[in-house]
Amino acid sequence: MFLAKVEGSVVSTKKDASMGGRKLLLLRPMLVDDKDPTRFKPGSNTLVAVDSVGAGEGEMVLFCQGSSARLAPGLKEAPVDAVVIGIVDAVDVLGKEIFNARSAR
């Protein structure tokens, strides 16, 4: 599992039939900064993931990739490489809270 910030959504009207009705989100992975572990630094890439939990723009989410993504309910036969599996409430690193959804709004 990985952490990411939802940066937006992706709309695709023509897609594989198994993807019909699925919300697609644009994610930017978030990494704990190795120079200052009390904060995150954004990853350099973005990826598209299927939303399975109703996440929205600006939220911090948990996502998984690869064969694990197809273990999410209803995705076994879908051509999916990434899926959002949770919305993050808080992140603690080395005993210090570095993210809290209530204060991030």
- What phi-psi label fits residue 61: left (phi over 0), alpha (psi between -120 and 50 degrees) or beta? beta
- Kindly list the distances between the CA atom of residue 34 and the CA atoms of 39, 59, 65, in Å, as whole numbers in the listed order: 9, 22, 23
Mind listing the pLDDT tens digit for each residue in 5-38? 999 999 998 988 888 888 999 999 999 999 999 8
Percent of the chain with pLDDT over 90: 70
Residue 58 parent element (H or E):
none
Q: Is residue 30 a contact partner of residue 3, using CB atoms and an 8 Å limit?
A: yes
pLDDT for 30 equals 97
pTM for the predicted model, two decimal places: 0.90
Nearest to 30 by CA among 55, 62, 54, 57: 62
Considering the segment(s) 2-104 as one domain, its CATH architecture is Beta Barrel (2.40)
